Chain A
C-alpha cells in the first residue's frame, strides 16, 4: 500500500492559489470497516460544498482527515492553511472569557482585544465579549465558535454539523449568518451534515457520501428554491441517494404535500 500523504503547509505562502482542498485516492477505515475508498475531492477557494451522508457513512471522518486529526490509510492530498473549524458543540474553554476564546487560534504576537471584538461584532456578539461561556445560550456559544474560526481568515473552513444542536429558529438564523460570512471571507468551505434542506440552502455544490464513495456531486444553482421544479428534483434526488425513498416533499405534482402527511 502506498504511504498516505496529506501535507499541511504551516506558513503564509499558499501553494494552492485556486483550490482549498485537493484529495485523490483517499482511503480510510477503522478495523474491518472501510469508510471510503479511492475518494477524490476538490474544493475551490470561495466555494461552499456540503457533504451529505447517513450516520456512520464516514463524512465526519473525512472532515477529521482534512483537519489533520485522522490520517489517511492510502491516497494523498493537500489542504490550504490557515484552516479553521466549527464543530457540532461550541467547544469553548469555560475558564476563559468569550473574547479570549475567540483568539484561541491567533498567534500570540497578533492577539489583541480589538481583533476579538471585531470578530465578535461580525457575529453580533460584540456586547458579550467579557461574558463567561457557561452564561451563553447554545446559539450564542456557536456564534462565538464561528467568530473563533473566522478571525483566522481561514482559506479552508470545515463545518461539522454546526447547526445540529440548535433549535429550529436559531438554526435558520445561524445558517444565514454562516452563508453571509462565507460570502464575505471567501474561504473554501466544507459543511458536513445529514440535513438535505440545510445542504441545499447553503451550499454551491452538494456531495453525497455513500457506500465508501461519493455517489452524487450536484451543483445547486437554480435548485436552491424548494418551490421550483429544479429545487424539488434535486431534493428528491438527494433523499433517494440517502436511502429515504418514501418521503419526497413536493416532488410529485399529483400528490401535493399535505399537512400531516395525508395519504390517498
Chain B
C-alpha cells in the first residue's frame, strides 16, 4: 500500500502493512443537534407502537373490551381531570404514599445508620430484616386488615412496610462502604467519633441513601395499588381497580399512564435534589460542566 491510502475512504484491514489513514472525525452539526437526533431515534419505537395500536382499534381489529384506543384513553383522562376525580384521587393517594414513605423510610434510615455504625446493631436485627425483606408484602394484607382495621392505618402501614427495606439496605451499605482509609486519616488527625460520623460518614453515605430513597418512592407508588384494594373509596389504585372500572380498559390504561408519569416525576425530583445535596459528587460536577 502507498501513501495514497491517506486519501482513500475505505477502512484499512488491521493486518495490512504500510500506511494507515488517520482522518479527523466528521463534524456533526453540534452536540445539541446530535442529541435531538438521538432522542428522535429513541421515540421511534413507542410512537410507532402507539400508531399501530390506534390503527388496530380504529379499523376494528381490537375491540374496546380488550383494549381501548389511545385516543379514547386520552379523552377519558381529560374527562377525569375536568370532573375533578383525577385530582381527588391523586391527593388521596399522595397523602397515603407520603405518610407511608415517611414512616417506613424514616425507620429504614434510622435502623440502617445504627446497624452501619455499630456491629451490635447489625447483630441485633440485620438478620431479621433480611428475612422480613423476603416476605411478599401482599401476603400480609389480610393480617394488616385484622390488626389495623379497614381505614387508613393498614394502607399507610403497608406502604411503610414496603419502604423500610430499600432505605434500610442502601443506608446500611452506604455507611459500611465509606472508605476505611478516610476514617483512619480522620482518626489520625484527631477527629472525634461523633465528628467522623456526622462530617464524613453521613455525607459519604448520602449517595447510597438517595438510591434507597428513590427505590422506596417507587415502591410507595406501587404499593398504593395493593393498599387501595382494602376498602378504599378514593385514590388512583382505587380508580384502576374499583368494580365499576374493571371493564373500563380506558381508565385502567389511563392510570397506568399516570403511574409512568409519576415515576418520571419522582426521578426528576430526586435528580434535582441530588444537585443540591451532593454538589461534591463526580456525577453532579460533570453535569454542571
Contacts and interface: CB of A to CB of B under 8 A. Distances in A.
B134 to A, nearest CB: 34
B78 to A, nearest CB: 46
A32 interface: no
A83 B182 CA distance: 17
B204 A95 contact: yes
Contacts of A97: 280
Contacts of B124: none
Interface in A47-64: none
Interface string A80-117: 00011101010101111100000011000000000000
A9 interface: no
Contacts of B182: 91, 93
A85 B185 CA distance: 8
Interface string B15-31: 00000000000000000
A132 B188 contact: no
A148 B189 CA distance: 9
B285 interface: yes
Contacts of A105: 189-191
A85 B199 contact: no
Contacts of A69: 184, 187-188
Interface centre among A91, A135, A148 (most CB of B within 10 A): A91
Contacts of B184: 69, 91
Sorting the interface of chain B by its residue count into under 10, 10 to 19, 20 to 34 or 35 or more gives 20 to 34
Contacts of B282: 134
A87 B191 CA distance: 17
B279 A94 contact: no
B141 interface: no
A104 B280 contact: no
B181 interface: yes
Interface centre among B182, B184, B185 (most CB of A within 10 A): B185
B287 to A, nearest CB: 13
Nearest to A89: B181
Q: Is the interface of B mostly helix, strand, loop or mixed?
A: helix
A67 interface: yes
Interface string B200-219: 10011010000000000000
Nearest to B278: A95
B145 interface: no
Contacts of A83: 188
A93 B188 CA distance: 14
Contacts of B232: none
B247 to A, nearest CB: 54
Contacts of B203: 93, 95-96
Given A93-B200, A94-B204, A85 B188 contact: yes
Nearest to A148: B189
Contacts of A133: 280
B186 interface: yes
Interface string A149-160: 000100000000
Interface string B263-289: 000000000000000111110010000
B199 A93 contact: yes
Nearest to B204: A95
Contacts of B185: 85, 87, 91, 104
A258 B244 CA distance: 92
Nearest to B189: A105
A132 B189 CA distance: 20
Nearest to A86: B185
A87 B184 CA distance: 11
Contacts of A96: 199, 203, 280
A68 interface: yes
A71 B62 CA distance: 78
A65 B280 CA distance: 33
A134 B188 contact: no
- Lowest 8 A-B CB distances belong to which pairs? A105-B189, A95-B203, A91-B185, A132-B280, A104-B189, A95-B280, A134-B282, A67-B188
Interface of B: 179, 181-182, 184-191, 199-200, 203-204, 206, 278-282, 285
28 contacts: A67-B188, A68-B188, A69-B187, A84-B188, A85-B185, A85-B189, A87-B181, A91-B179, A91-B182, A91-B184, A93-B186, A93-B200, A93-B203, A94-B280, A94-B281, A95-B203, A95-B280, A96-B199, A96-B203, A96-B280, A97-B280, A104-B186, A105-B191, A132-B279, A134-B280, A134-B282, A134-B285, A135-B285
Given A93-B199, A105-B191, A148-B189, 10 more contacts: A67-B188, A89-B181, A91-B185, A94-B204, A95-B278, A104-B189, A104-B191, A132-B279, A132-B285, A134-B282
